[in-house]
Structure formats: C-alpha cells, structure tokens
Amino acid sequence: MARRLHGTPARGLLAAVGATAAVGMLAACGTAGDAAHMRNGAVQASAAAARTTAAPSDDHVRVLKEDRTLPVAISPNDVLDIPASSAEVTLTELKQADSLPSDAGLDPEVADPGMTFVCLEMKVQNTGGAEFDTSPLTHARWTGEDGETKNIEPFTNSACAGLGVADENFLNEPDPRPGEFVKATTVLMVPDDQPGYLEFEDGQEFAMFKVETRAAR
C-alpha cells in the first residue's frame, strides 16, 4: 500500500526539490582544497588514534618494554611538507653500561662522569602509506625519578655492538618505505644516579612512547 504524503503535495515536492538543489549547489561549489582539508583531518584523526592505542601509563605516555611492540604515528605538518606516517616499533634489545667495548683492541668508550650509556635496538616496521621518518627515534627527553629533566642528544662516537646490540645506527640507516622495516640502534647517555625514563616525541612534540632507565650506582 502506497504511503500518503501529508500536507500540501506541491509545497512538499517544491521543498524537496529545493533542498536537493541546494545540496547539489554546495557540492558543486566545493574545491579541491576542501577535499584536501577533509583528508588531512581524517589523517590527523588516524595519527591521534595511533598515539593513544594501548594501555597508557599514569601520565598517559605509553611505556615500551624490551621485546614489546607499539604502534606509533608521525603527525603531518603541511608547513614542513611532512606527511602523516605510521609504524610498529619493537624494542628488540635494551642495554645499559658505563663503558662500550671497542673493536680492534682499542680502549672502551667510557661514559662521562655521573652518566651511563643506554643502547636501544629497535625494529621499525612501516605500516603506513608514506616513508617513515626514524629521526625522532635518535634523541629523547630524559626525566628522572626526582623530576629532573633534560634533552638527550644521540651519542655518535661509539656503537653498542660489543654489548650484543646491532652495530647499525638509525642516523646512518634509510627511512623505511611502506611495507619495509629497518633494525638499528640509538645510543644515548643519561644520568646514572637515579631511575628515569626516555620519552620519544615526533616532530611536533607529541609523545610516542617512553623507555625506562635504571640507576647505575
């Protein structure tokens, strides 16, 4: 049985036609820029979702432990022409030592007084549609148990191969393209008098994850 239209038929039909026309005009007036903004918004939402995936710690920054994997995302930046990208990061080895053995019988590399080396071997599997920039994995912000915090830059003069960690350094390895992965090491020096954690951020200072460090003395 056909459903009856209530009200004045002509008026109802005119309203429906007018609404349809208005929608058509709005769609026709849309620009490629509007579509780009919509796509960018969707990508940023996806990146935000990746940053909040998995159980957060008390301060909402996820902890990456040895032999564990976390999804991470690089936020897009239109100004710097950085596309959104994503990867799965696995902490395959974590070593901490006051000195790093050298090859060819050379003297070991000794950490500065009051500092200790942290060697982080990571596998980065690109899961996105753009090249994944690994440079955010080469430096970190360290925060100690008592609240002391400082920026930690990569230590490039030595490698951790003598500790059984990959000799390749992220600073010298290519960024993985979609479907590729890279396995390399980041060498950092942190204070040795208290436990703390290294917090890794993307280029826009969104925290991706943190790795715990221990007191060496």
Reading the chain (217 residues) residue by residue, the pLDDT tens digits are: 433 334 444 444 334 434 444 444 434 444 444 444 444 444 444 444 444 443 334 478 999 999 999 999 988 888 877 788 999 999 999 999 999 988 767 888 999 999 999 999 999 999 999 999 999 999 999 999 999 999 999 987 668 988 999 989 999 999 999 999 999 999 999 999 999 999 999 877 789 999 999 997 6
pTM above 0.85, yes or no: no
Q: How many structural domains are present in the chain?
A: 1
SS3 at position 207? strand
The two structure tokens encoding residue 165? 């960690």
Inside any domain, residue 173: yes
Q: Which domain holds residue 162?
A: 9-213
d(CA 162, CA 185): 13
Inside any domain, residue 185: yes
CATH number at residue 115: 2.60.40.1240
60-93: burial string, b at 16+ Cβ within 10 Å, e else: ebbebeeeebbbbbbbbeeeeebbbbbbebbbbb
Inside any domain, residue 124: yes
d(CA 71, CA 38): 24
Inside any domain, residue 3: no
Inside any domain, residue 27: yes
Inside any domain, residue 178: yes
All residues at 6 or more sequence positions from 212 whose CB lies less than 8 Å from its CB, including other chains: 63, 65, 195, 196, 197
Helical residues (DSSP H) of the chain, grouped into ranges = 9-29, 32-52
Inside any domain, residue 2: no
Inside any domain, residue 63: yes
